[in-house]
Structure 1
Amino acid sequence: MRATPRSSSGGVGLKAAAIVLAAGRSSRMAPHNKLLEPIDGMPIVRRVAAAALASGARPVVVVTGFEAPRVAEALRDLRATIVHNAAYAEGMSTSLRTGLVALPADSDGALILLGDMPEVEGQVLGALMTVFAATGRRAICVPARNGRRGNPVLWGAAYFAEMMTISGDIGAKQLMARHQEHVTEVAVGSDGIFADVDTPSDLARIETRTGSNP
């Protein structure tokens, strides 16, 4: 199913939270922590958390792991809830579970954001929330551009229990294949839904595109 939102604001009465996964070891960026690398003077993880806050999602939960004190410092003064995943070395699924446990019981859904995607925009997240408000707790709302799906994904609360059973260094992508009939593609106008930072060359491309850190 495809949907084009009429508005970029969240739906009235929608209890959508956001989980920012920010626990990874940045092994391909060593000795640097990619989440702390600046884009336009702002650490990547702070840009992601700020976009989540701008979308209207509440609460915004940031899951830390590797170098947790430094990541928490980068988020200082933001109205985000920081939770630590002591088992972060066991993979992304442990951070997903940590984030889900931290959500209020009345959350109708949650945006799952990767902490290394600095070009994700609050208006894109708001578009996902608008479509979710019209489709309900069983919806899986995925941003798409030119026929290609990206991140983040807004998951209805109907899938939280199933997401808690995932193990290993994977996210919830496998569940999407299992529940294709509930997936709604939300057309967006930004390539930021594809751009993550894993390596120094990834960072350099984003810096060139944004004109930051010349």
Structure 2
Amino acid sequence: MGDVRAPVAGLPPVAALVLAAGGGRRLGGRPKALLAYRGRPLLEHAVAVVRGGGCAPVHVVLGAERERVAATAELAGCAVVANPDWASGLGSSLRAGLASLPPGCSAALVALVDTPGVTPAAVARLLAAHRAGAALAAACYGGGRGHPVLIGARYFGEAAAGARGDTGARALLAARAGELVLVECGDVAAPDDVDTPQDWARWSGQPGQPGWPGSLGQSG
């Protein structure tokens, strides 16, 4: 899966928060976490990416069909975080994820399950920026801000307070724009997210027919 990095010994860990609680309303009501990508659930790909980039521990936030997702995807070594309020939007998943982190983490790398173009190399670049002193960083693509986003521990409370509806960390990034380090990743990753069957067809090779929801039973 590309450039695999191990956590740096002797330095405070950077945790990963993989937000995977959504119900995939525009994908026919199937959780994006279970879309089949390269023959396995998309959630497994997202976990492998953040691990490969050097994050540890990895916390996975689940909501829609949580028990089915947890039983289907291989999540060994991950902390699974339940978000019963997942239907209210991404913000509730970010709050649940941040609240679940153990003491001692220097930062959290926030990744979305529906961005299959993000790579371990992109994650590693954000971690390198953090090791170099950035407390708030985001991947950018051709100068435009995207995902993943790295939030230093000093901002956890502010990030949680501003995470409402589907805004996620947007309020924090806007309020702290002067402190945000943008890390160009356009040469090693792609920012596209998956919201519709047509979006998914571009990644999975499945026909983007109206009403096609995607499922674990279809190969990617």
The two structures have a TM-score, normalised by structure 2, of 0.84
Contact 1:10 1:129 in 2 (8 A): no
Of 196, 205, 210, the residue aligned with 2:193 is: 196
Give me the whole-angstrom Cα distance separating, in 2, the residues matched to 1:180 and 1:37.
34
Q: Structure 1 stretch 139-148 or stretch 81-90: which is displaced more?
A: 139-148
Which amino acid in the other structure matches residue 47 of structure 2? A
Contact 1:11 1:133 in 2 (8 A): no
**Equivalent position SS for 1:89:** helix
Give me the whole-angstrom Cα distance separating, in 2, the residues matched to 1:62 and 1:151.
16
Q: Deviations over 1:134-191 (max 9, x none)?
A: 115xx21111232222101011111101112132232011211111111111122134
Which amino acid in the other structure matches residue 167 of structure 2? I
Of 65, 69, 72, the residue aligned with 2:63 is: 65
Contact 1:10 1:133 in 2 (8 A): no
Give me the whole-angstrom Cα distance separating, in 2, the residues matched to 1:92 and 1:77.
21
Q: Structure 1 stretch 57-66 or stretch 116-125: which is displaced more?
A: 116-125
**Equivalent position SS for 2:161:** coil
Contact 1:145 1:190 in 2 (8 A): no
Of 98, 101, 119, the residue aligned with 1:100 is: 98
Give me the whole-angstrom Cα distance separating, in 2, the residues matched to 1:17 and 1:177.
23
**How much has 1:200 moved relative to structure 2?**
0.4
Of 64, 79, 82, the residue aligned with 1:84 is: 82
Structure 2 residue aligned with 1:145? 141
Q: Deviations over 1:89-139 (max 9, x none)?
A: 222111111101110111110001111112211121011001101115xx2
Give me the whole-angstrom Cα distance separating, in 1, the residues matched to 2:28 and 2:169.
26
Task: Report 1:12-161 matches (<5 A).
Answer: 13-136=11-134, 139-161=135-157
Q: Structure 1 stretch 165-174 or stretch 121-130: which is displaced more?
A: 165-174
Which amino acid in the other structure matches residue 56 of structure 1? G
Q: How many residues align?
A: 203
Give me the whole-angstrom Cα distance separating, in 2, the residues matched to 1:90 and 1:148.
27
Give me the whole-angstrom Cα distance separating, in 2, the residues matched to 1:74 and 1:55.
24
Structure 2 residue aligned with 1:205? 202
- Percent of aligned pairs with the same amino acid: 34
Give me the whole-angstrom Cα distance separating, in 2, the residues matched to 1:170 and 1:128.
21
Q: 1:16 to 1:40 in 2, by over 3 A?
A: same
Give me the whole-angstrom Cα distance separating, in 2, the residues matched to 1:172 and 1:11.
26
Q: 1:23 to 1:78 in 2, by over 3 A?
A: same
Contact 1:128 1:154 in 2 (8 A): yes
The two structures have a TM-score, normalised by structure 1, of 0.86
